[in-house]
Chains A and B, each alone.
Chain A
Amino acid sequence: MGLVDSINWMAVAFYVLAAHIVVSALLVVCVRNIVHSVLWLAVCFVAMAGLFLTLDADFLAAVQVMVYAGAVCIMVVFGIMLIRRSDMGHSNLFNGQTKIAGGVVALVIVLCGALSARTQWLLSPNEVPAETVDNIATLLLSKYVIPFEVAALLLLVALIGAIILAKEVTVDATDSER
């Protein structure tokens, strides 16, 4: 039993990943170039996938990397590229409400942190079962099959809606409002 064995590696992983998440989230908000902001968002999402692994949610970690770090970030970058700017360096500025918003946010963080620290949770002594994917699949296709189908329908509606919204080019939109 040396020093290496006495360290709780799960806790070390939690603190490292938490530091990554908080710092990259702060950079997402504070960086002045919006493309860099999206790249820091990808860092935040990958660190969050690691956090999900420490919570025994390996399927969700994979989904997080694929959907968020892969699809969402790339889609947002495409959206930024479609909205052309002359200078990207000042594309992500603050408005005039910084102080009020800081006060409100500090209140929210302190309140949520204090309440979650004071709550007496009915902690379960059991471990999460090792095969998460099997259990999630069984539940999704039996007990939660209707929400599952509704989610599929929602994705279809969002797909069609996004196409119609982004396609809408009228003739007078180009020469009016200039």
Chain B
Amino acid sequence: MQLTLSVSLTHYLVLSAILFGIGLFGVLVKKNAISVLICIELMLNAVNINFIAISKYVTPGDFIGQIFAIFVITVAAAEVGIGLAIIIAIYRNRLSVNLDEFDWLKW
């Protein structure tokens, strides 16, 4: 009995597309600002899967994709820190984290 399971680059890209879609859905539909931040993290991780998969299958010796993924992780960590600080600062002024109420910049 032969099981014909195999993994190719396309599998990783499709998984990454699904994960990016879930993250995008969360960003679009969530009310809580922190959960929008979490879903942005999911989208960045989907991008990381793409980088590393393409790095393995297309340019295995160059490590460009892995280095890019390291930079993405760095920027994502900085983004979470700043984002949480902004949300906490807004919460102090407004006593709310509901994104629909953050409309002072509306004309």
Give Cα A177 to B80, complex, Å. 27
Q: Is the CB of A34 within 8 A of B7?
A: no
Contact A166 B1 (CB under 8 A): no
Q: CB within 8 A of B78: which of A3, A21, A76, A155?
A: A155
Interface majority SS (helix, strand, loop, mixed), chain A: helix
* Interface pair B58/A123, CB less than 8 Å apart: yes
Residue from A93, A101, A140, A154 within 8 A of B67 (CB atoms): A140
Establish whether residues B14 and A101, one from each chain, have CB atoms under 8 Å apart when the complex forms. Answer: no
Whether A121 contacts B63 in the complex (CB less than 8 A), given A6-B3, A72-B41, A76-B34, comes out as: no
Contact A132 B66 (CB under 8 A): yes
Shortest distance between the CB of B45 and any CB in chain A (Å): 6
Q: Which residues of B contact A129 (CB under 8 A)?
A: 60-61
The proximity string for A residues 111-141 relative to B, scoring 1 for CB distances below 8 Å and 0 otherwise, is 0110011000111101111001001100110
- With A and B bound together, what is the CA distance between A142 and B42 in angstroms? 31
B25 (CB) vs chain A CBs: closest residue: A105
CB contact between A126 and one of B37, B53, B61, B95 (< 8 Å): that residue = B61
* Residues on B with beta carbons closer than 8 Å to the beta carbon of A173: 92-93
Having A94-B30, A123-B58, A129-B60, one finds 17 other A-B pairs with CB under 8 Å, namely: A11-B7, A14-B7, A37-B35, A41-B41, A45-B45, A51-B15, A55-B52, A68-B76, A76-B34, A79-B88, A97-B29, A109-B18, A112-B13, A124-B61, A165-B86, A168-B89, A177-B94
